[in-house]
Structure 1
């Protein structure tokens, strides 16, 4: 994040002439300064997307800015949100037995590379309890069985509300969330998938990739929806492999890639750089 910005303004609307000028004039008229600006026009849908990082004048508040901006928003029929960058988002991390992504997220958070407050670590196993508690993060054990799945999800949802969680990060959490829970948490859950979607879905992707003799393995970070592994993709990356690499080599490289990709997706979300466009995303870097 570039320094100097206090707030981020996100705008979505039907594309038409004059939007950028009207928005910039409204910001300038309030003695505020544009620190960073990105925009995108989708020719296929006719939709316009814009992200503006703004430094406020001393006496400007979100309420006063919003009131002054409302005439422009109304005139251009804008869908808009303003986010306070000075307030860190509150994140819950969920994990099962593989801890590489969890460890990476906790480290990046402790070194201020990810601007978030981790409210808790939730797991269906006990493997990473000591790791979470070492960081001073509360750990909650929610074992899942077919018989108690809905009951445990109800507890999870209550925890999300109690902890005022803004974002849930599935850091190799190996349980499928119910359709009902996905709908309630729409746009607030990021998952890391251990392959370059849409390829090699399902069990043992690295084994299948090795059998096919692939030359790269990848990872995909995406928002969770009721359609399994079909949510809007935030970011992806790959790692180069060759014929001499074993399955274990692929897994090791894949886990490094998973950690890197998930952290990148989380950072983009925390900085309000991701906007949904149907089943796709607009990512302002």
Structure 2
């Protein structure tokens, strides 16, 4: 199943995308939003009920033409990120492969729609792009016993852009968070895709273009720590809650790792995609 949120920022309506890939069904009579509570219900048998409703014509059609698509999850309780989780990305930045997942946080307020404008921060010279597979949590996870237990708490996956300001991140002291939490720095969507729609989450292609130039082309097969391992590992250090988002790292090709350092400027256009999870497009503006 593929879920989305349609409408102006702060007034999105929850929807289910039909099997034809174009018709959206309004879920606002079932849930006020696609949030942690809804995702928990989804994992507890709600998915089958929704599928039956859709097949029986029990859901009204929602017009999406010309409408804004919001992030597929209402403002997450938290956004947890994994750094240096692709072998080729670690190599391009000159970093050693980590022995354990590198974790940092992004402010949940960074999450915006997949085609919303991304703002280059004031005094920024090193704004960068990162195409990432995002995991969306549907059940509380604390101290999972093994990586295999992650399957029971994952509600779905989404396409994410972990936008980063490298000077703020690396050169301004402290942790990475200040270079990761600028406003609009986490476009997400267009859909939340349930695990049953993905044949193999560790075999998905990822791509980024900037102004039509291919910058990133990788595969989740190159992850150092798998999706299951990442969820299990994070649960040893913090409680994951329904609605939380985990960004799982980016492949090679970021501006920081390229010889010409082609950082983003206002007016640039980013297009990102992941197999089965859709495409997003953002124009850069000024904060």
State which structure, 1 or 2, has the greater radius of gyration over its C-alpha atoms: 1
Larger helix share, 1 or 2: 1
Q: Which structure exhibits the higher relative contact order, with contacts defined as CA atoms closer than 8 Å and separated by 6 or more residues?
A: 2
Determine if the TM-score, normalized by the shorter chain, exceeds 0.5.
Answer: no
TM range (shorter): under 0.3
Q: TM-score, normalised by structure 1?
A: 0.24
Q: TM-score, normalised by structure 2?
A: 0.24
